[in-house]
Structure 1
Amino acid sequence: MKFAISYSTPYYGADPDRLIAFAQHAEACGFEGIYLPDHIALYPGAKVGGFEMPATLPYPDPLDCLSFVAAATQRILLGTGVLLLPYRHPVVLAKRLATIDVLSRGRMRLLTVGLGTLPGEAAATGVDFASRGRRADEAIDVLRLLWSGGAEGVSFDGEFFSFDTLVSFPKPLGVPQLPIHIGGSSRAAARRAGRRGDGYFPGGMLAPHERARQLDLARTEAVAAGRDPGALEYTRWGSIDLPAERVEGLAAEGVTRIVVGSTDPGNPFDEMSRFAERFELGS
């Protein structure tokens, strides 16, 4: 089992000293990676499920934050949970992600993308909310095409994006393409993970039978797409006070990575250290 940790920017904001201290402590503890959330813009009345999000919650850009973290760390992998893919142009995003990967010496490897649930956020970025799933599918294809393309250039003609003989450098470090994990709590997200993802990272409060159904759906879609279902990583959220027997249960469900978050925004470092000791992360 792999263990990563989430840095909650709505609690911590964009304090550079706190971000670096958190990332360096996570690395010293032995966590595999650090994840940051994403929202481009909020507005009064914005709701996720039944929860109304205060419009003043700070959400600094996760990729800028991860670049900052990369410069102050050596080993920890960089992740998003989740990056709102439909609201970013994939040609620009391909360059940004490859640049972070090169500058971090190959650590931009926990990219998780999702669709977003706020119609106002879609409207503010000029995206039709109803089409964001198709747009995300196309964006994933564009990212991979640009990363794998050579000096002769690549072309694409889709519903949302189109270009001829385009060349994008730098490339991800040492790999043809960066892994792309799919986030979301719907069966559509599970299907997308099977068809296009390198991993599936469901969130939300799902019943056990629905979680199992979605994982099975992802694997079935992978087979239908001619992909290896066994290569699909399965990431889940967990609490930082997670007992060992719960980890064993998650492993039995096929989970390959657990991402935990601190329950003490005032002092997360002791919690992180205790978790690392309990699961011997540094050994």
Structure 2
Amino acid sequence: MRFAISYQPAHHGADPARLVAYARHAEECGFEGLYLPEHVVLHPGMSLGTFTLPPATPFLDPLDALAFVAAATSRLLLGTAVLLLPYHHPVTLAKRLATVDVLSNGRLRLLTVGVGALPGEARAVGVDFASRGRRADEAIDVLRLLWSGGADGVSHDGEFFPFDDLCSFPQPVGGPLPVHVGGSSAAAARRAGARGDGWFPGGALTPDERARQLDVARAAATAAGRDPAALEYTRWASMDLRVASVEAYAEQGVTRLVVSATADDPAAQRAEMSAFASRFGLG
């Protein structure tokens, strides 16, 4: 089992010194990687289910913030949970992602994308909310195409992002980046199996729903001619996680758990990380 940690601006703030201290301590503790979320914009009254998002929540741009973290760390893998893929043009996004990966010496390995759940956010960036799944599917294909293309250029004839003879350099270290798919819907599970390198569902699913959707992801991988056993399975977990619980996660096929410090005080957050690392022998 691998263990990563997330930094949530809604809880931890956007202070640069605090972000760096959090990331450096996570690295010192032995966590595999650091995840950041994305919201492009908020507006008063925005909610996710029963949870209302305060409109002044300081959501950092995750890629800019991860580049900042990369400059302050040396080993920590970099990730998003989730990057709202339909709200980015994949041609410019391919360049941004490759740049972070190259400048971090190949550490952008936990890229997780989702389609977004807030219609107002889609409207704000001029995206038809109903089309966001198709846009995400095509964007994943475009990213991989650009990251594997040569100096003679590549072309794409798609519904949303057609182009001819494009070259996108630099390319990620070692070839196209792994792309994990986040989301708790059956459509997300199918996308993960058909196109993703991993599946990272949200927290609002029952155990039976999770099991059914993992089956959906693996079936989609098989139908696409891909190896379902190669699909990584990442889950959220709590900071007070116990060893027995990890064994139960492993039995469900989980390969990575992501936690987040819950204390408000930075020193207390670091203490939480240290205790977790000690409990599981990280480092």
Amino acid across the alignment from 2:13: G
Structure 1 stretch displaced more, 79-88 or 7-16 = 7-16
Aligned: 1:19 with 2:19: yes
Q: 3-state DSSP class of the match of 1:247? A: helix
Amino acid across the alignment from 1:248: E
| Alignment-derived partner of residue 167 in structure 1 | 167
| Alignment-derived partner of residue 94 in structure 1 | 94
| Alignment-derived partner of residue 204 in structure 1 | 203
Q: 3-state DSSP class of the match of 2:253? A: coil
Measured in 2, the distance between the counterparts of 1:95 and 1:265 equals 35
| 1:260-271 equivalence runs, <5 A | 260-266=259-265, 267-271=268-272
Amino acid across the alignment from 1:161: F
TM-score (norm 2): 0.98
| 1:215-230 equivalence runs, <5 A | 215-230=214-229
Q: 3-state DSSP class of the match of 1:14? A: coil
Aligned: 1:83 with 2:83: yes
Q: 3-state DSSP class of the match of 1:82? A: strand
Measured in 2, the distance between the counterparts of 1:181 and 1:201 equals 7
Write the deviation string for residues 149-207 of structure 1: whole angstroms up to 9, x where unpaired.
Answer: 0000000011100110000000101x220000000001100000000000000012211
Write the deviation string for residues 52-96 of structure 1: whole angstroms up to 9, x where unpaired.
Answer: 111111101010000000001000000000000000010010000
CA drift of 1:136 comes to 0.4
| Alignment-derived partner of residue 279 in structure 2 | 278
Amino acid across the alignment from 1:190: A
| Alignment-derived partner of residue 181 in structure 1 | 180
Contact 1:154 1:165 in 2 (8 A): yes
Amino acid across the alignment from 1:18: R
Q: 3-state DSSP class of the match of 2:237? A: strand
Amino acid across the alignment from 1:3: F
| Alignment-derived partner of residue 118 in structure 2 | 118
Q: 3-state DSSP class of the match of 2:105? A: coil
The number of residues matched between the two structures is 281
Q: 3-state DSSP class of the match of 2:236? A: strand
TM-score (norm 1): 0.98
Aligned: 1:62 with 2:62: yes
Q: 3-state DSSP class of the match of 1:242? A: coil
Contact 1:13 1:60 in 2 (8 A): no
Runs of 4+ in 1 over 3 A off after TM superposition: none
Amino acid across the alignment from 1:252: E
Unpaired runs of at least 5, structure 1: none
Amino acid across the alignment from 2:149: G
CA drift of 1:47 comes to 1.0
Contact 1:80 1:110 in 2 (8 A): yes
Amino acid across the alignment from 2:17: D
CA drift of 1:51 comes to 1.3
CA drift of 1:12 comes to 2.2
Q: 3-state DSSP class of the match of 1:239? A: coil
Q: 3-state DSSP class of the match of 2:78? A: strand
CA drift of 1:13 comes to 2.3
Aligned: 1:73 with 2:76: no
Amino acid across the alignment from 1:79: G
Measured in 1, the distance between the counterparts of 2:69 and 2:92 equals 21
| Alignment-derived partner of residue 127 in structure 1 | 127
Contact 1:29 1:276 in 2 (8 A): yes
CA drift of 1:11 comes to 1.8
Q: Give the aligned CA root-mean-square deviation in angstroms.
A: 0.6
CA drift of 1:108 comes to 0.4
Measured in 2, the distance between the counterparts of 1:80 and 1:15 equals 19
Measured in 1, the distance between the counterparts of 2:101 and 2:213 equals 30
Measured in 1, the distance between the counterparts of 2:104 and 2:52 equals 36
